[in-house]
Amino acid sequence: MKKYILTFCLLLLITCCALSQGKAIPYGNNPAASRYYNIRGLKMYCEVYGKGKPLLMIHGNGGDISAFTKNIPYFSKRYMVIVPDSRAQGKSTDSRDSLSFEMMADDFAGLLDAMHIDSSYVIGWSDGGINALLLAMRHPDKVIKLASTGANLWPDSTALIPSEWKDERDYYNANKDKEFATAKEKNDWKIFMLDWLQPNVPLSALKRIKCPSLIIGGDHDLIVIQHTVLIYQHIPHAYLWIVPNSPHGTLQAHADEFNKKVDEFFTQPFHNWN
């Protein structure tokens, strides 16, 4: 009888372990992997997964860590993946009125300092792609290589497809005179205004990016393809990848291909990569 009880308990333990391993990790809401860092007067929420060379992932406007749900599992097998919520987004609350991409780029440099990390690989999507570029411009020693997808350098109809720019213009006109009653409404407006007024990066400034850079866009992106090409052309050591049949979320719609291609770019010598 004891033998059968022991066998049953062992099978139960194996089953529980398997179920536990199969359970989805709540990226963006995982106490086991999270910590707050005091960065430049901001309480920044951050989760870390895996071991190896550091890889910083930066999400888009109004998003949070969960944007990388399809990417963290792949990269955390090879890297120490660092995924913060950007200033005033997710769990990184910020009550100040002002917000800029330059401010956020400095936040990410400060986060790496707080973690005692000299330099990191960087993946940025949308606003995070802008932040990746600005991080490499403002803190070049912090970035080993970067992959930026869906980024723009200025906020008008030459950078955004006409329908997206019109939607943003209509939203601005409908809400510009509104008095926001709650802190959340004020914060949401601040996040919207970030993309309505910014970024304002001249093409000539991209020459300050010294690290190898992979510039990515979808062929059905919110960002005009010609604008993505301009970004690529003005970075000294850059490759361009326009993802076929892809919307703005290249890293979500084509996650497997995105993960593999970006990983290859990070691990192979720049001049041998294609």
145 within domain boundaries: yes
Q: Is the pLDDT of residue 169 over 80?
A: yes
59 within domain boundaries: yes
d(CA 110, CA 115): 9
pTM of the model: 0.90
187 within domain boundaries: yes
The tokens 């963290």 sit on which residue? 72
Query: What tens digit of pLDDT does each residue of 178-236 get?
Result: 999 999 999 999 999 999 999 999 999 999 999 999 999 999 999 999 999 999 999 99
161 within domain boundaries: yes
How sure is the predictor about 93, in pLDDT bands with cuts at 50, 70 and 90? confident
d(CA 199, CA 196): 9
CATH number (domain holding residue 195): 3.40.50.1820
Q: Which domain holds residue 142?
A: 27-269
Q: Considering just the CA atoms, what is the radius of gyration of the chain in Å?
A: 21
- Count: domains in the chain: 1
How sure is the predictor about 6, in pLDDT bands with cuts at 50, 70 and 90? very low
d(CA 191, CA 64): 13
Residue 199 Cα distances to 99, 104, 154, 156, 159, angstroms: 11, 12, 5, 10, 11
66 within domain boundaries: yes
228 within domain boundaries: yes
Question: What is the pLDDT, as a whole number, of residue 23?
Answer: 75
Least Cα distance to 234 among 209, 265, 217, 211 occurs for 209
17 within domain boundaries: no
Question: What is the pLDDT, as a whole number, of residue 273?
Answer: 57
Q: Is the pLDDT of residue 11 over 70?
A: no
Query: What tens digit of pLDDT does each residue of 35-81 get?
Result: 999 999 899 999 999 999 999 999 999 999 999 999 999 999 999 99
4 within domain boundaries: no
Backbone angles phi, psi at 245, to 5 degrees: 55, 40
